Amino acid sequence: MTSTITDRLYSFEEYLTYNDGSDNRYELVDGKLELMNPPTFRHLLIAKFIENFLDGEINRLGLPWLCLREAGIRTGWRKSRLCDICVVAAEQVMEFLDESAVCQSAPLLVVEVVSPESVKRDYRYKRSEYAALEIPEYWIVDPIESKVTVLLWEEGLYEDREFVGNQQIVSQRFSELVVTVEEVLAAGKKEEE
């Protein structure tokens, strides 16, 4: 569950430098700071697995891309979202190395791992904000529903395709990717399951 911490409106620039002295993480939504709950360990393990295999593909293919975990994405005038994983062209972040890790332009791919409190945010709000940026590919990894939805930007809209079970995830950005939904979700399962 997220909660708005103040009625004061912040500019995007103020958000980039905001520091309340805690380790809390916030998204900027219509100028208001929204406190983000810490993720579950399942969430973290799935995100780490995805980051590792995307990093492996980037390295294997020698692409000038970076795979980043928990970076921000500016999604509007007074909006910035925190994503679980994003893939960006290295040049997108090089001039901002010593600034807050918020992408100022659209990433090549974004991955969100759904948690019980993020269902509406990941499926609805982030989908529309990422579409407004024309992010070419957006994955919604949903361990609650045991599926991965891949949304591809096509002619002004996201076209989505769901993958379940032992289906291989089909990615436009990573056309040679070989990973199934089961493998992704297994990263967040207990050993005895």
Assess if residue 4 is contained within a domain. no
CA–CA gap between residue 45 and residue 176 (Å, rounded): 23
Assess if residue 85 is contained within a domain. yes
Structure tokens at 69: 């975990």
Three-class DSSP category at 125:
helix
First vs last C-alpha separation in the chain: 27
Scanning 78-156, the segments in alpha helix (DSSP H) are 91-94, 119-120, 126-132
> What pLDDT is attached to residue 1?
47
> What pLDDT is attached to residue 95?
83
Assess if residue 191 is contained within a domain. no
Assess if residue 11 is contained within a domain. no
> What pLDDT is attached to residue 159?
97
Assess if residue 177 is contained within a domain. yes
Q: Quote the number of domains for the chain.
A: 1
Structure tokens at 53: 């295999």
pTM over 0.85: yes
What is the CATH classification number for the domain harbouring 160? Answer: 3.90.1570.10
Answer yes or no: are the C-beta atoms of 182 and 168 closer than 8 Å: no
H or E stretch covering 52: helix 41-61
Assess if residue 24 is contained within a domain. no
Residue type at position 139: W
pLDDT tens track, the chain, 193 positions: 456 566 789 999 999 999 999 989 999 999 999 999 888 999 999 999 999 999 999 999 999 999 999 999 999 999 999 999 999 999 998 888 888 899 999 999 999 999 999 999 999 999 999 999 999 999 999 999 999 999 999 999 999 999 999 999 999 999 999 999 999 999 988 654 4
Assess if residue 115 is contained within a domain. yes
> What pLDDT is attached to residue 192?
45
Assess if residue 31 is contained within a domain. no
Residue whose structure tokens are 């990941």: 122
Query: Which domain does 146 fall in, by range?
Result: 40-186
